[in-house]
Structure formats: C-alpha cells, structure tokens
Structure 1
Amino acid sequence: MVNSFNCGAALPARSHVVAPSLLNTCLTRPRSRRKPREIDLIASKKSGVKQALEELERSKAALREIPRHQRIADFDKVLGLWLDGNIAFRNACEDISHATGYAHAAVTVSLRRTLEAWRAPHLERVLAEAESASGNHQAPNLVAAILAQNTPGLAIPPIALALGLGTPLLLKSAEGEPHLARHFLESLRQVSPVIAASCRAVYWKGGDRSIEERIAALADRILVYGGADAIDHWRSLGQDRVIAQGPRISVAILGSSTDDLEIEALAEQIAILDQHGCLSPQAILLPSAVDALPLAKQLAEALRVKQNIWPRRPLPDGEATSFRQAVDAAEIAVVGGRSLALLGGHAEGFGVEVTTQAQIEPCPLDRMIRFHPYRDPTELKSQLGPLRDNLECIGVTRDAPEISILQSSGARRICTIAEMQNPPADWHPVASWLMTIRDERFSTSPQLRSRFRKHVAQTSDAPRALEVTSARGCWVHTADGRKHLDLLAGIGVAAIGHAHPRVAAAVARQARLYTHVMVYGEDALDSQVKLAERLAARLPENLQSTYFTNSGAEAIEGALKLVRKATGRSRVLSFEGAFHGDTTGAVALGGNPVYREPFRPLLENVEQIPWDDTAALNLIDETTAGVFVEPVQAEAGVRVPSRNFLAQLRERCREVGALLVFDEVVTAFGRTGKFFGFEHWPEAVPDVLVLAKSLGGGLPLGAFVSSPEILACLANDPPLGHVTTFGGNPVCCAAALASLDILEEQSLPERSALMGRSLLERLQQLVGRGGLVEVRGLGMLIGLEFESPGDCACFVEGCRMREVLLGWTLHEDRVVRLAPPLILSEEESNEAVRRLSAALQGTAGQASSA
C-alpha cells in the first residue's frame, strides 16, 4: 500500500528536523502537469470553503445517529465495489495517472493495496486498539486533512478514520491530485448520502491565511501530509492539534543468498510510483563478502522490464536535472574508483549504482538506487544510525542479518522486501491520536486540586499539582487540554517513556495469572526469577544474586543491614551532598544536614565525608562496614566525579575490608549512556549495587544486588531477618522484563550516550543567557547551574509556562536537572532546546526581582 499515509510517519514535534544531507534530495514529490480541472467537489473560492464548513457542522448530528458498524459497513461496501473494478475506480485511476504522470497500471496496483488495507475488519481493529490506548475519549467535532503532496491514495485513510469515529472531515485535496476524493465520495454518496455529506473535499491555493486560520480555529485535529514547509505552516496555526505525516526514508537489506524472486520484488518496490513515498527503498545494503555486480545486473534487467509495464513518468525540469546530475556523479565515481559500476542511465529511465562506500548517500528518487556494502552487523548498525529518527521501513530478504540489529535501528516497520509498500492500516497510530479529545463526562472536576490538598498528604507547600489525564512517550497531558514535554521522566522513572504498550501488555498478562501469592523469598515466581537472571547476565561475577524490594529507599535499608551483618562492623560512610532516600536509614546516609537534623536521633555510626576528595578516603578504615556512593550525585547538582576518584575509592575499600555500595537508583539502565553507571569506571565495580526507579518500567520496584556469599548472611542467624511482603511483586517484575527488552532492542543506553552528548553540547551554547553559568552531565542526566537561586527559579517558571516539565535539584537550589525519557526523539530534543532557550531569554532581567 504505497499510498496509505505514504508521505511519512507521525511526527509529534516539528517535522522539519530531518536527516538533512540524506533527505534533502529524497523529498521531491511528483508535480502535476496541469491545474486541477473544475469539478463539483472542489471549492476554489473562499466562499466554497466557508460553505463546506457550515455544511459539515450541520451533518454531525445525522452522522452520529448512524451506528458505527453501519458507517463502517457502508464504507466497506464502496471499497468492495472499487476492488471489483467498477467504473468509478477505473475513472479514478485514469484521472490520477493523467494528473500525476504515474503509469496507469502502477496507480491501479497502488490504489488496490490501499483499499484492501482499509477493509472493514482492519478498520475495526484499528479503532478498537485506538480506543484501548486512549482511554476515556470523545470523537473530535471536526477533523481537517491537508494533502500537500500528490501521492495517490492519501485521501482514503482520513476518510476511513473520520467515518469510523463519526467525525465530519474537511479534506483539502492536493493541487495535482484532486481526483481520488472526488470519485470516492461520489461512490459513497450513492451508498449513503448522509455519511457522504459528512466528508467534504475542497481545494484552495495553499497559504491563504484567511481560509486556513478559520479551519485551524474550528478543527479539533488537523492531519497534514507533505513536506517541511507545509507542516511548519500548519503547526504555526494549529499548534499541538496538528499531526504531521512528513518525509521519511526506507532501505532494503539483502543477505548472502538473495534469489531471483527477491530481486524482482525489489525492482517492483523501486518502480512503483517512481520511488516516491517513504516506503520505497532509497538504498540497498549488501554484505561486502557478496559480489554485488551480478545482483545489480539482475536488478537493472528487472527495472528494464518494469519500464515496459510501468513507464516512468515524464520528469519536470528540476527533477530531470537532479536525475541527470546523479547519473553523472555516478559515472565520475566509477572512473574515480569509488564505485564499481553504473547500470542504466539517462536514456533508460533508471540507474543502479554499485558503490564501494558504506555511508548511505542521497539519491534523487525517480528509479535511482545504490548498492552499499557492509562488513558485519556492527557496521550495518552504524550505517543505519544516522537515519534513526527518520527510518520508516526496512525491507529484508529471507537471510537478512539478525533481527535484533534491525530492531535497534529505530525503523517503524521491518518486513520482507515484497511487503514494503503493502503495510497494514495500523501502520501509524493516527487513530489513537484523533481520539485523545477529552470526554468531559470523565474529566477531572474543578475542585480536584483542593481535594488533592485536603485528602492527600502533602510533601511541600507548593506541589506541581498538574491534573494529569494521560501520559504517552515523552508527553504528559493535563485536564486543561495542555500537552507537556517531560524532561524529568518522573525523576528518571520513565526511561522507556510513559505508558509503553509493551509494559502495559506484560502487566496485563501477569495480572491474569496472579498478582501476589506469598511474602518475598518463599515461592519460585517465574517473572521474578527471570528478572534476577536477566540482571545477573548483565552484571559482573561478583553481582549475581538479587534481593528485590518495592523502592530505592527500601533497597538502601536492606543494603545497610547487609554491610553491617556481612562484615560484623557498624561504621558506615557516605558523602557530602548525597541523597539515598527518605526512610530513617537512608536519611542518615544523606549528605544535606537540612534534611537530617529535624529527624534526629538517626542511625548511629553513620558519617559523611567530602565528595570527590582523594585525601578524604583515608577516613575509611578497618572499622568501616561499608561506603555508600552515587556514581553521579544527582540531587547535589548533577556532580560527576573526577576520572580516578571512584577507582581510588574502590581500592581503599578493598584495602580495609569495607564493602563498596553503589547507589544506582538514578544512574542505572542507560541514564548515563551505559547500562549501569559503574561501567564508566570499570576498575570500580562495587560489592553491592542498589537499583530502583526505571527498573520497574514505571511500576514500583527496587533491588540490591551482591554475591550469593554476601547475601547468604541475611538468610540465617536469625532466619527471616530481612523480609518484605510486596518486594519483587510478580506484576512489577513482568513490567521490568518488558522494560529491559525495550532497552536492549532499541539500544537505549547507546542512544542515551549519543543524544545526551548532542543535547549537552547544544545547551552549553546557551551559557551566559538568563544567568546560566554551566551545563554538565553524563548521558541523559544533565544539570544546568545558574548564578543565583533567583535565576534558577525564574527559568523553572519560564519552562512551566512553555509546558516543559523539569525541576531543580533537592540539595542545590541553583541547579536544574534534566533526565528525559531515553526515547526522546531528535525532533523532541530540538523542541526541548527551543523551549529551554526561550525560557532563558525570558529569564534575563527577572532574577533581581525574584
């Protein structure tokens, strides 16, 4: 299905942030060879659009009186008639081919795939899944679909979804392809005039703000299909009510024994609609051990055959020039030894280049393709890396590389080459986005904040007090209709994003089996055992046994008891500035006296020593049971130790027989760019490792990990000397297993390192604005330090006004901490920097009055 949402994937943020060098030449869309003719469903005047909007408003009540199953059945009846090849379908294909220049046979194949994908069972499944994902909702009052490109078939998905939801649809046809909507809605009118009246296809020349501002004011949801300029324009009008289907890229990956049928399928994917649309392969990757020339010759011959069946459209001057330049460049590369061959060329209407370069380069589309070699899966992964945020589909042969490599690429879809342009209707989650209109029957009441303050115990006089209705990915939605970019991830909990569907599914599966059976340590529970094994597989040999708890503070308490009992000593040390939790033992370890003094007397024989001070390590002696340390002190202002400090700490503990405890509640599971924070300092492996926060994938779960020999001391003298009722709850462990799968499959720790470095560098460029004096961090744990607490407070308020969630650190009121979900996309990262920069600009000059 080349044309179902064919211009690209759902982009929740600014869509012009695309892999620039690669996609600049891949975004050319077919232009019409003539203006749309005057047809009765196209309104070319402002009055026509105004009339359409008025008619759609009147149609809403009648549309919603028709049951959903009947609306879907009537829509499906039209699909069936078209798939049977009725006159309307034949006329549509002919008009589309004439307007766009695409081969009539190719348009027919493409459109059939779209129609098949949206048959009734598929549409019902999409709507059911969207309802499940969006929770309580109501249908939008009006959806506008803006088709700003000429790819055939784009009108079908928004019509299907609007009818399924019972929502009137205003559809702006593309300048060069207004015909599909005209023919389809006329067929729908013959089946159900009432349903057809709720969909209006109109046309006006893009950029007419008098029309577009009116539409943006009335539409609850705006779907935009097109390039960066069109998407940016509509985002400026509709803000977060816009979902953009923007430019993307797809690739084909061949194995070592590609057969004739796979080459034939590859030729079809390249030739259909002349490679336009994000599902068509724009590069071919092949193992370097395989001779690419025979395969390239086969592909060239297959493209010659396709040229006879689906002749390439006549290219406009600009696109013809781009194709010629690409062919000329390929010929120069062959002469210069950078490429092995060029097959086809100007006269043949296609080009197949076999290059020796691994890096994927831009291509002009219009049946121009390159073979790129890769040595091994590691190099393949690095080749796909630059495409990560824009990779739509990977088509593979039957002997392609192991799937885990491809799953970590960020591609939205992995399939056989033959299925690349035949995706299912739920290819993109547009339906669930359309259904996020809040149902007032289930909305939070205006008195919720006062009830929250009255009946929920408070932790401060100024809670954030957001009335949260839902959270997805990196975004938190509130009852006032606002959408907040979460750069704190629930203080680091939502590493894989909020409400990940795989975590939800794992929780549901486990809950159907059992939720709780017995107190911790008595029964062998499958999810708990598997999680302990997964952690052991990731950890060094001295960290192979796990004690599960409900939280990080409980894990710290367990570790405190452990180091004292295992060593027979009582003295415990931690560091100034440390934060280890808020239970009594954890507070005693805390490095800020403000939070210790009101709760004295605390545990005896607990002391703090200076942070990152080598001389202070001499205070660790033979009376010390254990030393508790955070690899990065988050609440102290994101303080990263000097290079050798933790190694020297490790050595000192070894010398005196003290146990070294790493508190990685914050830093584990990819937060710092490594799976565990201590991996940055391989010579500083701890004796005990404390985990929590993101471990549970959003559910409460903690753990302390050590060797079986050390942990054995808690099992006797006395037996049951350390127990917990809910620790290691099987539902939470199931969630944790799903979270680990996602971390590994998507290479989120590695992504954290790359994205964190990029984010850090861009934020460092803002130093000097609004009192910002330093930006520091490791991975995606970043601290912004300000000259004064006033500057810091003004910045936090400026971010709040710009719908960015963050907060200052507990022990340092001049530092703001960023710990966004590790799935933060490039677009979301850019949006974060834009909003943070705007907040800094607003901060300037305000601090003095703070």
Structure 2
Amino acid sequence: MITPVLPTYNRAPLSFAEGRGSWLTTTDGERFLDLGAGIAVNVLGHAAPELVEVLTAQANKLWHVSNLYTIPEQEKLARALVDATFADTVFFTNSGTEAAELAVKMARKYWYEKGGRSDIVAFEGAFHGRSSAAIAASGSEKMVKGFGPLLPGFRQVPFDDPASLDAITDTTAAVIIEPMQGEGGIRVASDAFLRALRAKCDATGALLIFDEVQCGMGRTGKLFAHEWAGVTPDIMMVAKGIGGGFPLGAVLATEAAAAGMVAGTHGSTYGGNPLGCAIGGKVMDVVNDPSFLAEVARKAALFRQGLEGLVASYPEVFEGVRGQGLLLGLKCKAQVADVVKAAYAQNLLTVPAADNVLRLLPALNIPDEDIAEAIARLDKAAASV
C-alpha cells in the first residue's frame, strides 16, 4: 500500500498528542518519559513555558519577511552567539544539514580565494546530515550507497586517533569533526586529541570545523563541547537545541574563515526569520547561564551514577556508560534494538545509535525525580531483555 508520507523512516508504532516537560502523552492517553528530547532538540523540555510565551508574542507580531531586509531578532541572536563564542559572524539556517552545506562551502570558498585547496578530512563514524556534502563527509556505506557519484574531495580517517593527524597536510582545505559523535555511538574525542588537531590545523593552514549540532547548546555542561578542551574552531555548525524545538540552525565563523562569503554566495529563504530567532534568543538566554550549565553538570552526574548501577546489575545486558553531560550512552551487549523495545514496554523513550549503543539525551532541565524514574524504568527494561 502506498502511503502519503515517503517511507524513509523506520517508525515506532507510537503517536503523540501532547508534551509537557520530560513527558509525552500518546493519542491514546498513555504517558511516556522522554529520554530522546526529539534527538537532543527539546533542551528545555516539551512546551517550555518561557518558549511558548516568546513564540506567542512574536507570532502575534511578525513571522517572516525574508533576508531581503534587516531582521532585528536575527541581529540580536547573532550578537548573543558572537559574544558567547569564538565567532565573529553568524549565518542562520533551518537545520544541521544546511549548516553542514554552508560549512563546506565556506571552507572551500576560503581556499578558492587563497589558492585552490579543496580536500576535506573527516572522521569514521561521523554524521553531519543527509545532504550530498554531508554524506560524502561521512563516507559510510549506509549513508552513501545508491547516491553516487559523491561530492569529491573527502577523506575519512579513524576518530580520536593521533595517527589520523598525518592525513592533514599542506594541501588540506579543512578538517570537520564532531567533538562528541552522537549517531556514531556516543564517542568522545579526547581533549588531547582536539588540542593536537587544532595545532596540526594551525601548522598546515587547514580550517578546523566543529560540528556541534548534537553536542552543543549546553548538552555537555558547557555551552559548547569544545570548551572542555580549551580549543576553538574556525567554523562551527549548530542546530537542534538552539531552537528548543523550533527548526533553527547556524554556522558560526571567524572573520577570516568567512571572508569569501560575500553577498550572493549563499542564502536561505527561511533561515533566521523573526519567529525562529526570537525563540532561539530565549533559548540562549536560558541555556547560556552559568547556574543553568552547573545544573546540567549536576544532573548528568546523578544520571550517570544511576546508569553505572544498571551496568553493574545487568552485566549481560550492558557493557558500560559513555558520553559527557546529558549526552549519554549505554554500550549494550544485548541487541540495542531489543533494549529500545523493552524500554517502550516501560513507557520510556530512548534512541539507538551506532556501535550497539543506547542513546540517552533528555531535556537539560529534566527534574531529579524524572531521572530517578528513568533509571527505575531502564532497570525493568533490562530485567526483561
């Protein structure tokens, strides 16, 4: 039977009608505890009152005018991002995939203006989106099979491996990396590796691109994950959490890295519209607060402690805990698909990842009692596997 929606998703048999905080209610009235947060999107939970207030106020004033005009809400959010990061300039998109496209274009345009480098080094296990440039960067068979010929110029090397630095040479235009791989199995690049990577890029002139679409916006306990290593990129991709559930993304860059992106080199009809940027501005106000980020770190420690207990209690189901902050993973010995299904039976939503990992990325303001409830439900799920 042909369905009206293109069947590219392997969907669970669940439909939700309402959400509040860390809880979702199905169309049949069942309540589920959500440890997926729309895949790291709903950083303040479902129907966050402060976001509903801003959305309603802006919707009653102005939704969209296009980038033919100056947009005050966009200017304000860009200023907040610049003030909080390494960046000098920001371009707004609607998604992480669009951010990846611009990051690649920006790096190649930089070198076009300076002498023609185009090769980009990426990392095995990466996920940068599903556009032509993004799948070429990932290079995995699952992502690229049937979609050739691929955009040329990408080379994949082992993640978090010092030997990979040898692939970066005086002919490399850029290096693109997630400081923490989400889809790739909650794998964290060591601080030492990120520092060595920054140094190698500096030595060769290659631009360093960080993909913080999933690990950014407070998820690790700092505004952006790379802050833990004390290094900065030249270009950074942001999305997911920045809109708190509203489609919004951004590319942040230094003035030098963005120098080639002059008028007419890139654009977006919807990117950075008044409605999206008003919401994103409020997300920044809330998340980029030292007390909020300290709470993320505290909640993460509480959550991790509970997960370590589950690993100890169910060594035949779980192998260990991965991740940082509230981007956590349970490396499974049992099939992760079976654990996800067992969690569904306990009215608990989780997300699978590569390398047989169960991904846990709740709202950043998840209450302590919901963390305790999540651990209890995971315990019952593990017992049933």
Bin the TM-score by the shorter chain: over 0.9
Change (3 A) 1:746 1:469: farther
- Deviation per residue, 1:29-72 (Å, 9 max, x gap): xxxxxxxxxxxxxxxxxxxxxxxxxxxxxxxxxxxxxxxxxxxx
- Structure 1: stretches of 5+ with no match in the other structure: 1-449, 844-850
- Deviation per residue, 1:578-631 (Å, 9 max, x gap): 000001111111152221122111110111011111011011011111100001
Which residue among 255, 258, 261 is the counterpart of 1:711? 258
State the one-letter code of the partner of 1:833.
Answer: I
> Does residue 1:455 correspond to 2:4, yes or no?
yes
1:693 corresponds to which residue?
Answer: 240
Per residue, is there more helix in 1 or in 2? 1
Q: Give the alignment of 1:421-432 within 5 angstroms.
A: none
State the one-letter code of the partner of 1:641.
Answer: A
- Deviation per residue, 1:250-307 (Å, 9 max, x gap): xxxxxxxxxxxxxxxxxxxxxxxxxxxxxxxxxxxxxxxxxxxxxxxxxxxxxxxxxx
Q: Whole-Å Cα distance in 1 between the matches of residues 63 and 290 of structure 2?
A: 28
Q: Whole-Å Cα distance in 2 between the matches of residues 705 and 668 of structure 1?
A: 12
Question: In 2, are the aligned partners of 1:760 and 1:777 still within 8 Å (CA)?
Answer: no
Q: Whole-Å Cα distance in 2 between the matches of residues 737 and 476 of structure 1?
A: 25
- Deviation per residue, 1:410-458 (Å, 9 max, x gap): xxxxxxxxxxxxxxxxxxxxxxxxxxxxxxxxxxxxxxxx9xx821222
2:381 corresponds to which residue?
Answer: 839
Q: Whole-Å Cα distance in 2 between the matches of residues 480 and 537 of structure 1?
A: 46
Of residues 816-825 and 586-595 in structure 1, the stretch that sits farther from structure 2 once superposed is 586-595
Q: Whole-Å Cα distance in 2 between the matches of residues 536 and 787 of structure 1?
A: 43
Q: What's the CA shift for 1:802? A: 0.6
Which residue among 609, 617, 624 is the counterpart of 2:165? 617
Question: In 2, are the aligned partners of 1:697 and 1:738 still within 8 Å (CA)?
Answer: no
2:220 corresponds to which residue?
Answer: 672
Which residue among 299, 302, 305 is the counterpart of 1:755? 299
TM-score by length of 2: 0.95
- Deviation per residue, 1:506-549 (Å, 9 max, x gap): 1222222221112x3x3211110000011111112xx1200111
State the one-letter code of the partner of 1:712.
Answer: A
Q: What's the CA shift for 1:788? A: 4.1
> Does residue 1:633 correspond to 2:181, yes or no?
yes
Change (3 A) 1:641 1:745: closer
TM-score by length of 1: 0.44
State the one-letter code of the partner of 1:830.
Answer: A
State the one-letter code of the partner of 1:675.
Answer: L
Which residue among 824, 830, 842 is the counterpart of 2:366? 824
Q: Give the alignment of 1:428-827 within 5 angstroms.
A: 454-460=3-9, 462-518=10-66, 520=67, 522-540=68-86, 543-568=87-112, 569-682=117-230, 684-715=231-262, 719-744=263-288, 747-768=291-312, 769=314, 770-789=316-335, 792-809=336-353, 811-812=354-355, 814-827=356-369
State the one-letter code of the partner of 1:550.
Answer: N
Q: Whole-Å Cα distance in 2 between the matches of residues 596 and 467 of structure 1?
A: 30
Question: In 2, are the aligned partners of 1:692 and 1:702 still within 8 Å (CA)?
Answer: yes
Q: Whole-Å Cα distance in 2 between the matches of residues 614 and 709 of structure 1?
A: 27
Question: In 2, are the aligned partners of 1:670 and 1:750 still within 8 Å (CA)?
Answer: no
- Deviation per residue, 1:828-850 (Å, 9 max, x gap): 0000000001111111xxxxxxx
Question: In 2, are the aligned partners of 1:549 and 1:555 still within 8 Å (CA)?
Answer: yes
Question: In 1, are the aligned partners of 2:235 and 2:257 still within 8 Å (CA)?
Answer: no
State the one-letter code of the partner of 1:693.
Answer: K
3-state SS of the aligned residue for 2:180?
coil
Q: Whole-Å Cα distance in 2 between the matches of residues 746 and 503 of structure 1?
A: 20
Question: In 1, are the aligned partners of 2:207 and 2:257 still within 8 Å (CA)?
Answer: no
- Structure 2: stretches of 5+ with no match in the other structure: none
Q: Whole-Å Cα distance in 1 between the matches of residues 382 and 334 of structure 2?
A: 14
Question: In 2, are the aligned partners of 1:807 and 1:816 still within 8 Å (CA)?
Answer: yes
3-state SS of the aligned residue for 1:533?
helix
Determine what percentage of the aligned residue pairs are the same residue.
38
Q: What's the CA shift for 1:766? A: 1.5
- Deviation per residue, 1:669-700 (Å, 9 max, x gap): 11011111111111x21000110001012100
Q: Whole-Å Cα distance in 2 between the matches of residues 653 and 712 of structure 1?
A: 18
3-state SS of the aligned residue for 1:747?
helix
Q: What's the CA shift for 1:745? A: 5.3
State the one-letter code of the partner of 1:454.
Answer: T
Q: Whole-Å Cα distance in 1 between the matches of residues 328 and 213 of structure 2?
A: 16
3-state SS of the aligned residue for 1:476?
strand
Q: Whole-Å Cα distance in 2 between the matches of residues 738 and 527 of structure 1?
A: 11
Q: Whole-Å Cα distance in 1 between the matches of residues 289 and 90 of structure 2?
A: 23
State the one-letter code of the partner of 1:571.
Answer: D
Change (3 A) 1:643 1:713: closer
Of residues 641-650 and 574-583 in structure 1, the stretch that sits farther from structure 2 once superposed is 641-650
State the one-letter code of the partner of 1:468.
Answer: F
Q: Whole-Å Cα distance in 1 between the matches of residues 164 and 3 of structure 2?
A: 47
State the one-letter code of the partner of 1:755.
Answer: K
Question: In 2, are the aligned partners of 1:580 and 1:586 still within 8 Å (CA)?
Answer: yes
Q: What's the CA shift for 1:795? A: 1.4
Question: In 1, are the aligned partners of 2:122 and 2:157 still within 8 Å (CA)?
Answer: yes
Q: Whole-Å Cα distance in 2 between the matches of residues 754 and 552 of structure 1?
A: 28
- Deviation per residue, 1:221-248 (Å, 9 max, x gap): xxxxxxxxxxxxxxxxxxxxxxxxxxxx
Q: Give the alignment of 1:54-69 within 5 angstroms.
A: none
3-state SS of the aligned residue for 1:712?
coil
Q: What's the CA shift for 1:793? A: 2.1
Q: Give the alignment of 1:295-334 within 5 angstroms.
A: none
Q: Whole-Å Cα distance in 2 between the matches of residues 505 and 786 of structure 1?
A: 41
Question: In 1, are the aligned partners of 2:71 and 2:273 still within 8 Å (CA)?
Answer: no
3-state SS of the aligned residue for 1:817?
strand
- Deviation per residue, 1:326-375 (Å, 9 max, x gap): xxxxxxxxxxxxxxxxxxxxxxxxxxxxxxxxxxxxxxxxxxxxxxxxxx
Question: In 1, are the aligned partners of 2:16 and 2:26 still within 8 Å (CA)?
Answer: yes
Q: Give the alignment of 1:303-382 within 5 angstroms.
A: none
Q: Whole-Å Cα distance in 2 between the matches of residues 838 and 825 of structure 1?
A: 20
State the one-letter code of the partner of 1:834.
Answer: A
State the one-letter code of the partner of 1:711.
Answer: A
3-state SS of the aligned residue for 2:264?
coil
